[in-house]
Structure 1
């Protein structure tokens, strides 16, 4: 990660807290830019490996078309109902495609661990079932901003 968080140091997550938070959350919101310049936000399942955010996206989607044209994204993962419980992470940078498009299960060493962890997290399986409709995107974030309002104390 090339940029460090300047504001909100009191509420930012430590690297360990960030890893734990991203491991336990299931859904992120991915923002892309459409051809006409309008923003598009969509929900996706994801996997965090400690360095990169892995996104398994339908390839026949507005999101995929946007990313093929402009790979820059912002991703938000957050939770909490009351103000004092709010926690989250925003990651931004450019995504890159990993593996074949669409993914059919061809050998790809770079995806072995990712697909096993993703299959366990979301399907309770040891192997990811490939449907020929999805492909992998990797976001190695250039900027990460986090917050954990629980660190502010009781409200």
Structure 2
């Protein structure tokens, strides 16, 4: 993964980043269509400390685009006022992991044990991940990971 060079003053520490990604519920996923048009959609996610996991509908435009061109950009952010803005941008390529769609009726898939546990707890599914036979997992091992936390700037900012 390429190291963040810009904005070191406001970048999150790894611990801050991990806590932020554990607390946030929705990311924005940007893909590219076959004709080069960008496509952005919201999605739920899990962060395991090194990879971002997306639980996507396999019959979606997003899934189809990623099967043709696996390049992706994802933003997770929060804040209303300028001095509150913070977030993480991840770029890379997706890799489908496990059965698609995921039914959960087959053999357990070891690579999905951690992200499914994180996802189930984060979104209120309890101890057991719910599989509806429509979603499957996409893993992003970040090529770049950029973070920012404008609260570190201090001071008041006019609107």
Structures share a fold, TM > 0.5? yes
List alignment gaps of at least 5 residues for structure 2.
none
Structure 1 CA distance for aligned equivalents of residues 32 and 96 of structure 2: 17
Q: Secondary structure at the match of 1:84?
A: helix
TM-score of the superposition, structure 1-length normalised? 0.97
Match of 1:135 in 2: 136
2:75 equivalent to 1:76: yes
Match of 1:148 in 2: 149
Q: Number of residues paired by the alignment? A: 154
Deviations 1:2-59 (A, max 9, x none): 2111111100111111111101100000000001110000100000000000000000
2:27 equivalent to 1:28: yes
Structure 1 CA distance for aligned equivalents of residues 78 and 18 of structure 2: 15
TM-score of the superposition, structure 2-length normalised? 0.94
Is contact 2:48–2:118 with CA below 8 Å preserved after alignment? no
Q: Secondary structure at the match of 1:36?
A: coil
Q: Secondary structure at the match of 1:28?
A: strand
Instruction: Give the superposition deviation at 1:123.
Output: 2.4
Q: Which runs of 4+ in 1 moved over 2 A?
A: none
